Amino acid sequence: MLALASAALALTPPPVRRPAPALLRDRQPTWSNPQGATLTQIREDVWLAERPFYPTLPGLQGTDVGCKMCVVRLPDGTLWVHAPVALDDALRRALAELGEVRHIVTPNTEHQKWAAPWILEFPDAASYAPPGLREKKPEVGWKRSLEELCDLGVTSSAPPAEWGGAIQLCWLKDRVPLTSVPFFNEVVFAHVPSRTLIVTDLWWNYPSSDDVPTSSKIWKAAMDNIYRPVYNRLMRGPNWDESYDTIMGFDFDYIAPCHGEPVATDGKAVLARHLAKIAS
Ligand SMILES: [Fe+2]
């Protein structure tokens, strides 16, 4: 009987997110933050700050496209923050319970909106700009560029020692269709101990459940049926395949995206299908 129970437990897929304590369920639940939590734990030493996000682009102001910040607690107990969202007092308190913010990462050119206030809030933290952006926008105050870390061109043999060997990175170069102009210019990360791939705009997973507003569903349809094929056919930049192989060489199963639901199992196959490397 015990053996059967153990086998059943082993077959149970891991949860996408862990239940947030009541103390952290302090905001309105939405499809983009289903627990209404300030911080949601997804893996050991990995949390998401899940937030609604309404773009300022014409026609999208009323559409919640969702936005997630990822927080990793490094082996030395300090916090590594990816794609920061708006800071508020509840988030400040929740982070202070976890550790000291020492690393602020802006992973691509799109998710830079809150970089400056975070850098001001945590002046002792190292802050990292996506490749090329520090030179273009010095006023933000990034101390370093992720490009400096890519000693092998698109990836790094030795990420910063302060990351404690817990984080890998790979630069995935894209471009505006039919030009050589970078578009998102994203750097992808993997948290080694939890086998979590952390992506920004490379992959999204908008749910289609009933509680998702119609406008968000339309956005998902556009991303899936218009943006995705354009990306896969026309937007892969130099060394893209080399980067893809590097990322697939990371040991991950879970995917933590900035947009939509995380995936708790089979992450490599999910990403490969999304990028048209295997059949959907
Ligand atoms: Fe995005």
**Are 72 and 66 a contacting pair, CB within 8 Å?**
no
The chain-wide mean pLDDT, for the chain, equals: 95
How does pLDDT run across 101-145, given as a tens digit for each residue? 999 999 999 999 999 999 999 999 999 999 999 999 999 999 999
How does pLDDT run across 56-105, given as a tens digit for each residue? 888 888 999 999 999 999 999 999 999 999 999 999 999 999 999 999 99
pLDDT for res 1: 60
The rounded Å distance from CA 9 to ligand 1 centre is: 36
Q: What is the average per-residue pLDDT within 21-50?
A: 97
Confidence bin at 244 (pLDDT 50/70/90) = very high
Q: What is the average per-residue pLDDT within 187-214?
A: 95
Helices and strands (H and E) in the chain: how many: 8, 11
The rounded Å distance from CA 138 to ligand 1 centre is: 22
Q: Which two tokens stand for residue 47?
A: 């949390």
The rounded Å distance from CA 201 to ligand 1 centre is: 5
The rounded Å distance from CA 199 to ligand 1 centre is: 10
The rounded Å distance from CA 194 to ligand 1 centre is: 23
The rounded Å distance from CA 204 to ligand 1 centre is: 9
The rounded Å distance from CA 259 to ligand 1 centre is: 7
Distance CA 218, CA 38 (A): 27
The rounded Å distance from CA 71 to ligand 1 centre is: 17
The rounded Å distance from CA 162 to ligand 1 centre is: 27
The rounded Å distance from CA 46 to ligand 1 centre is: 20
How does pLDDT run across 51-61, given as a tens digit for each residue? 999 998 888 88
* Dihedral class, residue 60 (left if φ above 0, else alpha if ψ from -120 to 50, else beta): alpha
The rounded Å distance from CA 109 to ligand 1 centre is: 9
Report every protein residue that has its C-beta within 5 angstroms of ion ligand 1.
110, 201
pLDDT for res 6: 65
The rounded Å distance from CA 181 to ligand 1 centre is: 18
The rounded Å distance from CA 151 to ligand 1 centre is: 26
The rounded Å distance from CA 119 to ligand 1 centre is: 20
Distance CA 196, CA 62 (A): 31
The rounded Å distance from CA 56 to ligand 1 centre is: 13
What are the start-end ranges of the E strands in 75-176?
A: 79-82, 101-105, 126-129, 144-145, 167-172
Confidence bin at 14 (pLDDT 50/70/90) = confident
- Residue 37 in this model has a pLDDT that exceeds 80: yes
The rounded Å distance from CA 5 to ligand 1 centre is: 42
**Are 66 and 260 a contacting pair, CB within 8 Å?**
yes
Of the chain, the percentage scoring pLDDT greater than 90 comes to 90
pLDDT for res 58: 85
The rounded Å distance from CA 21 to ligand 1 centre is: 28
The rounded Å distance from CA 164 to ligand 1 centre is: 27
**Are 187 and 146 a contacting pair, CB within 8 Å?**
yes
